[in-house]
A and B are shown apart, each in its own frame.
Chain A
Amino acid sequence: GESVGLHLPTLSVQEGDNSIINCAYSNSASDYFIWYKQESGKGPQFIIDIRSNMDKRQGQRVTVLLNKTVKHLSLQIAATQPGDSAVYFCAETNTGNQFYFGTGTSLTVIP
């Protein structure tokens, strides 16, 4: 079956520092990946995505890196702010319909 896991369940960073959240996936056929942010009591919010034909993609303060050789995905958040505190999920698919989610990493930003 599919397995999408995270290296660290919790992460604490100082406000203003950069954050790096990691994710491992097991299906080498996965071709599309999304990072979601989920705040307490809310649904997952799209942050950034990347396709398997890319190894890096940048957004506003966020960067996603994909290493297909070791099946690893990371989310980098620059200048982390208190509003970034949330649970972050990576999700992957190889079918285009069913996404597999990891357990999530809880990010806490310390003021």
Chain B
Amino acid sequence: ETGVTQSPTHLIKTRGQQVTLRCSSQSGHNTVSWYQQALGQGPQFIFQYYREEENGRGNFPPRFSGLQFPNYSSELNVNALELDDSALYLCASNRGGGGAQSQTQYFGPGTRLLVL
């Protein structure tokens, strides 16, 4: 088990609603990345936060936004939910800051989001 935790574990929303997902990074990690994993697919990078600033973004629309807090925990917010947003949302943390092992990302268990 990694030290990355996510909440909630499952969530059901309706189209057009907004959702906030939460992630606590592993101790000693200052970088958090969010991924979306559709059923039967590999994770797709949404964005990364390093020391409370966005540090890279994948091909996702602006209605996907995030925050990182001083304790390095993070939130993923999705506005105007669409049916295709149904997926497993994964959070990963890494040490950041350079160095041989700083890039290695460790994943949490994910939040399963269902949009009806």
B-contacting residues of A (Cβ < 8 Å)?
4, 32, 34, 36, 42-46, 49, 51, 89, 91, 93, 95-104
Contact B42 A103 (CB under 8 A): yes
Q: Chain B, 39-54, contact with A by CB distance < 8 Å: what is the 0/1 string?
A: 0111111001010000
Stretch of B14-22, B62-70, B77-85, B99-107 lying at the A interface: B99-107
Instruction: Determine which of B2, B45, B105 lies in contact with A34 in the assembled complex, contact meaning CB atoms within 8 Å.
Output: B105
Contact B33 A101 (CB under 8 A): no
Q: How far is the CB of A8 from chain B (nearest CB, A)?
A: 15
Q: A102-B42, A104-B42 are in contact. Are A95 and B108 (CB under 8 A)?
A: no
Q: A89-B42, A98-B48, A104-B42 are in contact. Are A43 and B105 (CB under 8 A)?
A: no
Provide the bound-state CA to CA distance between A49 and B76, in Å. 27
Contact A42 B109 (CB under 8 A): yes
Provide the bound-state CA to CA distance between A97 and B100, in Å. 14
Contact A97 B56 (CB under 8 A): yes
Contact B104 A34 (CB under 8 A): yes
Report if B90 contacts A (CB, 8 A).
Answer: yes
Contact A101 B42 (CB under 8 A): yes
Q: Which residues of A contact B2 (CB under 8 A)?
A: 43, 45-46
Contact sample, A vs B, 18 pairs, CB 8 Å cutoff: A43-B90, A44-B90, A46-B104, A46-B105, A46-B106, A51-B100, A91-B42, A96-B102, A97-B33, A97-B55, A97-B103, A99-B33, A99-B43, A99-B105, A100-B45, A101-B42, A103-B41, A104-B42
Contact A98 B42 (CB under 8 A): no
Provide the bound-state CA to CA distance between A51 and B58, in Å. 23
Contact B107 A43 (CB under 8 A): yes
